[in-house]
Amino acid sequence: MSISMVALGPDDLEERAEWLTALERTVDATAFCLGNEVTNFEAQACEFLDVPFALGVSNGTDALRIGLQALGVGPGDEVIVPATSFFASASSVAHLGATPVFADVLPETLQLDPAEAKRHITERTKAMMPVHLYGQAAPMGELLALAEETGIEVIEDAAQSFDARYEGRALGSLGRCGTFSFYVTKNLAAAGDAGMIVTRDEATFERMRSLRVHGDAGGYQHEHLGWNARMDGFQGAILSIRLERLRAVHAARAKNAGRYHAAIEARGLSDIVRPLGLTDGSDHVWHQYIVRVPNRDHVMQSLRDQGIGCAVYYPSTLPSQPVFANLGHRDGDFPVAEAGCRDVLGLPIHHRLKDEDPDRVIAAIAETLA
Ligand SMILES: *Cc1c(COP(=O)(O)O)cnc(C)c1O
């Protein structure tokens, strides 16, 4: 029996029926663009995350773009971005004419390294973007202290970590603003593209709300160079349903993580198959279960040959992307991130796995490495 990497769509016939009812309601109200379904989801998300302001937007990339723009990031500015993340963490900065300044990550967790972030701050640094990778926090205590000390803004890319917390506070709500993606493979997944920005600051919220719709102050008066980043009504309707089930999804993912840990220990593999460490003060919603393994590409191919889904997040660093060649980085500039790219492997951890699946995956890895 094969094991898939992701679980897409409704979980069961009951949820499927809920989706269709919500979609019918949206059609009948012709609430296609923003509208009631999105407003309701925003209110629900505010309560869930305990933040005063949330904006539903078109996707996680637009959320970053609008958040950065609301912080005043533009040409000539620098933004500190971790060397390991999804492309959009850096491209959103570059699209605004600013420069992503990459900083290496911590060996235990692959999260932004505060000492490396500090080393790259210049008088042009406008902001830093901690990315809460794989479902847990970057080391926010140190990063927030650094931002305070140097007077730079913090925008959190929490695309992979909706509902994860740092010292009890929701990720995304710790800096000036925080962004989420509800892409179909994320823990809280829409039925297409969607995203969100949250903030505790009312002035930032008003600016972002205007930027979401072309910077229109009303009556076609454009105060800012905004963008079209509206969320679809259909996505708001689906996300409201999914949000109700999210805590159960996260409990199932945490159980699977425990089963992986136990299987690795039980098979005496902890020196060879090494799960990433945990960030102090953070909980974990297990967007990914990442292990570091020798002969990673061979292990990955062997798992896939046996029908076990797995994937590499990420096979190369952001500074090594061809589109950033102009920044002049070389192999060896980000040794920790580069080492991660060579040996990380993401294993299936979604909430529809069977109880025995994690052990089967670890058994298959053990056999391959034997
Ligand atoms: C998914 C993701 C994004 C982009 O979100 P989209 O909704 O796909 O635009 C940005 N940053 C990180 C870290 C992500 O994982």
Residue 293 dihedral angles phi and psi, to the nearest 5°: -135, 150
48-106, pLDDT tens digit by residue?
A: 999 999 999 999 999 999 999 999 999 999 999 999 999 999 999 999 999 999 999 99
Residue 158 CA to ligand 1 center (angstroms) comes to 9
Compute the distance between CA of residue 199 and CA of residue 190 in angstroms, rounded to an integer.
Answer: 21
Take atom 14 of ligand 1 and give the residue whose Cα is closest.
159
Averaged pLDDT score across all residues of the chain: 97
Residue 314: is the preceding peptide bond cis (ω within 30°)?
yes
Compute the distance between CA of residue 58 and CA of residue 151 in angstroms, rounded to an integer.
Answer: 30
Residue 180 CA to ligand 1 center (angstroms) comes to 7
pLDDT at 217: 83
54-70, pLDDT tens digit by residue?
A: 999 999 999 999 999 99
Residue 299 CA to ligand 1 center (angstroms) comes to 26
Residue 159 CA to ligand 1 center (angstroms) comes to 5
Residue 181 CA to ligand 1 center (angstroms) comes to 5
Residue 297 dihedral angles phi and psi, to the nearest 5°: -65, -35
Compute the distance between CA of residue 245 and CA of residue 252 in angstroms, rounded to an integer.
Answer: 11
pLDDT at 200: 98
pLDDT at 61: 98
CB atoms within 10 A of CB 367: 10
Ligand 1 pocket test, candidate residues 160, 171, 314, most atoms within 8 A of CB = 160
Residue 323, exposed/middle/buried by CB under 10 A (0-12, 13-18, 19+)? exposed
Share of the chain above pLDDT 70, in %: 100
Closest to 338 in 3D by CA, of 356, 350, 320? 320
Is 122 in contact with 78 (CB distance < 8 Å)? Answer: yes
Compute the distance between CA of residue 167 and CA of residue 333 in angstroms, rounded to an integer.
Answer: 32
182-219, pLDDT tens digit by residue?
A: 999 999 999 999 999 999 999 999 999 999 999 998 88
What is the enclosing helix (H) or strand (E) of 266? helix 233-266
Strand intervals (E) in the chain: 53-57, 78-82, 99-103, 125-128, 153-157, 165-166, 169-170, 177-181, 195-199, 274-275, 289-292, 344-347
Take atom 5 of ligand 1 and give the residue whose Cα is closest.
60
Take atom 2 of ligand 1 and give the residue whose Cα is closest.
159
Across the range 162-180, mean pLDDT stands at: 98
The atom of ligand 1 lying closest to the CA of 85 is 13
pLDDT at 1: 76
Q: What share of the chain is helix, strand, coil (3-state, %, to 5)?
A: 40, 15, 40
What Cα–Cα distance (Å) separates residue 317 from each residue in 105, 111, 198, 324?
Answer: 11, 13, 27, 11
1-56, pLDDT tens digit by residue?
A: 799 999 999 999 999 999 999 999 999 999 999 999 999 999 999 999 999 999 99
The atom of ligand 1 lying closest to the CA of 186 is 1
Residue 260 CA to ligand 1 center (angstroms) comes to 26
Q: Where are the alpha helices (DSSP H) in 55-127?
A: 60-70, 88-95, 114-119
Take atom 7 of ligand 1 and give the residue whose Cα is closest.
60
277 or 1, which is more confident: 277
The atom of ligand 1 lying closest to the CA of 92 is 10
pLDDT at 57: 98
Residue 266 CA to ligand 1 center (angstroms) comes to 35
Residue 288 CA to ligand 1 center (angstroms) comes to 14
Closest to 131 in 3D by CA, of 90, 168, 183, 192? 90
pLDDT at 218: 85
Length of the chain measured in residues: 370
pLDDT at 185: 97
Take atom 6 of ligand 1 and give the residue whose Cα is closest.
60
DSSP 136: B
Residues with CB under 6 A from ligand 1: 59-61, 85-86, 88-89, 131, 157, 159-160, 181, 183, 193, 195
pLDDT at 134: 98
Q: For residue 284, name the pLDDT band (cuts at 50, 70, 90).
A: very high
